[in-house]
Amino acid sequence: MDRRKKTPYPIDLEIVTQTIFFNLWRIIVVKDAEINALADEVDLSYSLDSLLK
């Protein structure tokens, strides 16, 4: 006899997989944008310093 608790609704593995990959993709895109913004700040500050010297 299977004593595991059954979910009241069927789990669609395709939807679960798509959701996981979409969330990972969204994290990667956000982190990429943050890294690019930081790189732009560094480049701007470096170029301003070189102009002032």
Number of domains in the chain: 1
pLDDT < 70 positions in the chain: 1-4, 7, 43-53
| 31 closest CA partner among 19, 39, 21, 42 | 39
Please state whether the predicted TM-score (pTM) of the whole model is above 0.95: no
CA dist 11 and 7 (Å) reads 8
The confidence score (pLDDT) of residue 23 equals: 94
Q: In terms of residue numbers, what domain contains 23?
A: 17-53
9 in a structural domain: no
In a domain, 4, yes or no: no
Alpha carbon distance 32, 42 (integer Å): 15
State the alpha helices, DSSP H only, in 1-53. Answer: 13-52
* 12 within a domain of the structure (yes/no): no
Amino acid at 11: I
pLDDT confidence of residue 45? 59
